[in-house]
Structure 1
Amino acid sequence: MTTARHQPAPGARSRSSPPLTQLTEAMYHARDLAMARMEAEADQLGADGIVAVRLAVEFREFGEHIAEFVAIGTAVKADEPGQWRNNKGQPFTSDLSGQDFWTLIRAGYAPLGMVMGTCVCHIAHRRIGALLGTTGRNVEIPEYTQALYNARELAMARMQAEAKELNAEGIVGATLDHHHHNWGSHTTEFFAIGTAIRPLRPDHVIERPQLVLPLDR
């Protein structure tokens, strides 16, 4: 499913590097809305879950700062009855590939749902004196380092909080990306996403890994 949303532009030049709360909430809400509409379609089909989910955002030409958020996946239904839905009564969602999904099931775990966290932050402009002091030198820029570190930590913590709400034991296939979109070089979004999982049964045993050698080299 898809949703289009107006994303306000960041403010003027700033000497601080705070998270941009309004823009962060807008990006998160739009993704969540697209996911919810996809889950509703799967529910109408009587599906147990959705696999190979892809969640994308594209800024369109039909309006400044208007973005389209798209969530797409394949609805699936189990051959045998079982408790595949999560603790919210919704079909599970997973961004794992078919092969990774099968590997997860064979290992004794089931997906609960995709979990995500985002943080849009503004990286402060440096003062002229600081710029001149580092000209021609290879030095760390501490204000940039700290701002990026804080934003990453916030995105990861928000993803973990979503997994906790689902009573998950862990998150697999997690990725942490950053996007500038069309906001300019000093504003960036860190986006963390993964699949929350739970054990299929208390006595599950993880299969012993097997050595695989490619024959085409």
Structure 2
Amino acid sequence: MSDAPNDLPEATGHRLEELEKGLFTSDLSVNEFLLIKEIGFHPVGFVMGSSIYHTGIQTRKWSQSQELTKLTEAMYNARELAMTRMEEEAAELGADGVVGVRLDVNYYEWGKDAAEFIAVGTAVKAEDGVSRRNALGKPFTSDLSGQDFWTLHSTGYAPQGLVMGTCVYHIAHRGLGQTLSTTGQNVELPNFTQALYEARELAMTRMQDEATRLGASGIVGVRLEEKSHQWGSHTIEFLALGTAVTKGADPVDLATPVTIISLDH
């Protein structure tokens, strides 16, 4: 085994050495484990990456909707650090990819402006010895479940990477006059509509840009998450996540389901 990457703790190197001896760890369910084995992969270890990141301060205007670029960069960079370290662990194990990836953000009492960004998943390797790494030569990452990973491969597609786009956006407050003018009425609030639309669009576009850099033909399992974290109700992070995929081998012939009718009464 090569030396552990420089930014991984020494204890991580010891854990990975134990995994290379043949014992694997995994957060896959029994069904997911069997399905992944069925399409020619086996788990080699549970991998993780972490980054405790201090987010800076950015002023915002009470009556103006705008992206808070400093906070956007902080949230993106912190997740990227966690993802990169998880990928490094997978590479140390000789894995082709990581499935079932989860990204979490945790806040602690001892760090008001700091948060821990964690990426975890199960590293897998192809049993035929043929590399399944992505176009960048790195282990692919995917937030698909074991069942969805099986379905994806069965239809001839291969994951390239978990792609994301983020945008931290401040939504302007309404003035007293605006509030009074709509009291008791059914009416659209265009400033809110436009702000939320623009923020989501920025997050989605950035996610798509990541997929393009991987040479992907599409993104599956896309989801949009919106959280205020600790910034207050008018500052929201819009996060777009999905798995970039490419068309690979021919679809696998799936067994035809057999109908069974019970004659028991």
Taking structure 1 as the reference length, the TM-score comes to 0.92
The answer to whether residue 134 in structure 2 is matched with residue 86 in structure 1 is: yes
Task: Please say if 1:172 is aligned against 2:220.
Answer: yes
Say which of 48, 51, 70 aligns to 2:118: 70
**Contact 2:153–2:251 (CA under 8 A) maintained in structure 1:** no
Partner of 2:188: 140
Shift of 1:139: 1.4
1:22 to 70, 76, 79: 70
Match of 1:53 among 101, 125, 132: 101
> Equivalent of 1:185, from 228, 233, 240?
233
Deviates more, 1:73-82 or 1:154-163: 73-82
Match of 1:99 in 2: 147
Which segments of 5 or more consecutive residues in structure 1 lack a partner in the other structure? none
Cα shift readout 1:98-149 (whole Å, capped 9, x = no counterpart): 0000000000001001000000000001111111111122211100100000
SS at match of 1:71: strand
Q: Pick which of 9-18 and 127-136 moved more.
A: 9-18
**What is the distance in 2 between the residues matched to 1:143 and 1:207?**
52
Match of 2:85 in 1: 37
Q: What is the root-mean-square deviation in Å for CA atoms of aligned residues?
A: 1.9
Residue 8 of structure 1, CA deviation: 2.7
The higher-RCO structure (CA 8 Å, 6+ apart) is 1
Amino acid in structure 2 at the alignment position of 1:82: V
- The equivalent residue for 1:163 is 211
SS of 1:183's equivalent? coil
The count of residues paired between Structure 1 and Structure 2 equals: 210
Structure 1 counterpart SS, 2:66: coil
Q: Is contact 1:2–1:69 with CA below 8 Å preserved after alignment?
A: yes
> Does structure 2 retain, via aligned residues, the 8 Å contact 1:178–1:191?
yes
TM-score computed with the length of structure 2 as normaliser: 0.75
**Contact map agreement 2:152 2:158 (CA 8 A) in 1:** yes
Measure the CA separation in 1 of the matches of 2:183 and 2:223.
Answer: 35
Q: Contact 1:9/1:183 (CA < 8 Å) preserved in 2?
A: no
* Structure 1 counterpart of 2:93, one-letter code: L
Partners of 1:52 and 1:73 within 8 A in 2: yes
Q: What is the percent sequence identity of the aligned residues?
A: 57
